[in-house]
Amino acid sequence: MKNNEPVHIGRVLKKLRMSKQMSQDDLANQSSLDRGHIGSLEQDKHEPTLSTLLALAIGLDIDFMDLMRLIYNDYKNG
């Protein structure tokens, strides 16, 4: 892990969403976000704000700190 490596949040979000058998539309509805924004995040085209991460945690029915831990572990392990 290097400090200048990008964080690939998208793969974590997609893996979580799929493990819960949710479509992007389902997650968009549950998190009050736009489906297109979900897709952009999953493709790592955009980095989410803190409020977006909170909304995603709610939509995925996962504790916010657990989501952060999964993102960190993915980053650390590459």
What is the three-class DSSP state of 32? coil
Alpha-carbon torsion 38, 42, 48, 50, what sign? Answer: positive
Which residue type is seen at 64? F
Burial of 51 from C-beta contacts in 10 A (0-12 / 13-18 / 19+):
exposed
What is the three-class DSSP state of 16? helix
Question: How confident is the model over 18-71, as pLDDT tens digits?
Answer: 999 999 999 999 999 999 999 999 999 999 999 999 999 999 999 999 999 999
- Domains of the chain, earliest start first: 9-77 (1.10.260.40)
pTM here?
A: 0.89
